Chains A and B, each alone.
Chain A
Amino acid sequence: MSRAQLTSTVEQNTGGAVAPFVAGKNFLVNGLHEIWQRGTSGTVSQSATAYVADHWWGTRFGGAAGMTMSQTTGANNLSYGLRAQRTAGNTDTSIIQFGQNIESLHAEPLRGQTVTFSFYVRAGSNFSSSSVTVGLQANTSTDGVYFANGGWGTNFASTTLSSANSNLNTTYTKVTVTGTVPSNAVGVCVVFLYSPASGTAGAADYLDVSACQLEIGSVATLASRAGGTFQGELALCQRYYYRQSGTENASMFLGYGQAYSSSQLYWTTRLPVQMRTTVQALDYYGLQVYLNSSGSGYGISSISINQSSSISPSLFVTCTSGLSTNTMYNIFMAGSSSYLGFSAEL
């Protein structure tokens, strides 16, 4: 039965057509690559899986250097796509990998179901790999993390992109991959991986993807936001990561903390949405402790989690000496590049 026939049947049976944009249809978060809380470009760290576009990770086998991820133009009239690039001049041939892990709780309805992963893909003019493997993987670990050296799960469906297969060239091409999720799957992820060829990377040694969607069924439908609306999608992203940054207000106050000693204070903050789990990590840059009445700023040397929480973590802040015990101080953005991020990523 074609989708048109199916839709027609649904209309007859229920009196309403199935809209192409249905919240939750897309099991990928930020599949349209609209949310970039960490910024629109970033270097993939050599020591850990990196996130640039919200909830999309990237890493190189063996923790090799020479990979960036950044925002690019999208396909099918969408504004944005995700670019994975080997840095120009890099000669390392270690596998480049990027993808998205689906939280186990969200993946449950996929068990035993036929699913279709659809996306648009294009390669840069200097793309040095002869092919790209796209895998739909499953594992039996709750909220598993994809590490640089693999070991996450097994492919239950895959396809190979290449110019020879006519599905990889310098203009966006739509690709679909369909498979059946194992009934015992606890985690599901989509992953793109390829090995750069020997030689030096040119300026356009990259792979772009856009309009990524994983849905139940054997037919790819128009890609939509998992959260329905932009605000819904942002809230969904903030389930995994939330950042306050100085880009809108270079001298923003984040909240008050109470001095415990001349160089230490405790601060409890409130997150905009409940996170997947208790806050697992903080990332920060350019913050100060500040006393309004004197205009004095104290550089922060460390912020750590004192009592973790999925909604209201308590933080321990160490700064330069000069605080008065039991006095309330502001946590302060010292510039437009300052930020404080809370992570509960997979």
Chain B
Amino acid sequence: MDNITTITDPTGVESVIITHDDGSFTSMLKSTYDAIQASSTLAANSAPQANSTESLA
């Protein structure tokens, strides 16, 4: 299970550090992480449209 921590550097920049099971890390600005989480939640409300053929509105 990934471990997620938040750090703040001396200039006040907040980042999220994700520690993976294999010992590797992913880091990103906290604002980026929050945006991804928000978008993922929105996407979760609709299933993949494998057979959809409708056009864009």
Residue of A nearest to B18 (CB): A47
Tell me the smallest distance from the CB of B39 to a CB of chain A, in Å: 7
Q: Check B17–A145 contact: CB distance below 8 A.
A: no
Question: Contacts of B24 on A, CB cut-off 8 Å?
Answer: 283-285
- List the interface of chain B (C-beta within 8 A of A): 2, 7, 9-11, 13, 15, 17-18, 20, 22-29, 32, 36, 39-40, 42-56
The answer to whether A305 touches B29 (Cβ under 8 A) is yes
Considering residues B10, B13, B48, B56, which has the most beta carbons from chain A within 10 angstroms of its beta carbon? B48
* Interchain CB contact (< 8 A) of B48 among A61, A281, A306: A61
Closest B residue to A95 by beta carbon equals B48
A135 with B50: in contact, given A151-B45, A304-B7 (CB under 8 Å)? yes
Which residue of the partner chain B has the closest CB to A285? B24
Instruction: Tell me if A's interface is mostly helix, strand, loop or mixed.
Output: strand
Q: With A61-B48, A135-B50, A318-B7 as given contacts, are A154 and B42 in contact (CB-CB < 8 Å)?
A: no
Are A282 and B56 interface neighbours, CB within 8 A?
no
When distances are taken between beta carbons in the complex, the residues of chain A under 8 Å from B20 are 45
Given contacts A97-B48, A193-B48, A302-B17, contact A285 B29 (CB under 8 A): no
**A281 CB contact (under 8 Å) in B13, B32, B50, B56:** B32
CB distance from B48 to the nearest CB of A (A): 3
Known: A283-B26, A304-B17, A306-B13. Is A149-B44 also a contact (CB below 8 A)?
yes
A260 interface contact, C-beta 8 A: yes
B55 CB → nearest A CB, Å: 6
Additional A-B contact list (11), CB under 8 Å, known A149-B40, A264-B9, A316-B10: A135-B50, A151-B42, A155-B49, A302-B27, A303-B25, A303-B27, A305-B29, A306-B13, A307-B13, A316-B13, A316-B15
Contact B15 A305 (CB under 8 A): yes
Q: Which residues of A are found within 8 Å of B39, using beta-carbon distances?
A: 145, 147
In the complex, A150 has a CB within 8 A of chain B: yes
CB of A158 closer than 8 Å to a CB of B: yes
Q: Does B51 contact A133, Cβ atoms closer than 8 Å?
A: yes
Contacts of A281 in B (CB 8 A): 26-28, 32
- CA of A139 to CA of B43 in the docked complex: distance in angstroms? 13
Closest residue on chain B to residue A46 by CB atoms: B2
A-B contact pairs, 7 of them (CB 8 A): A133-B50, A138-B56, A149-B43, A283-B25, A302-B25, A302-B27, A316-B11
**Closest CB of chain B to A172's CB: distance in Å?**
23
Give complex CA distance A147, B44 in Å: 8
CB-based contact A149/B56 at 8 Å: no
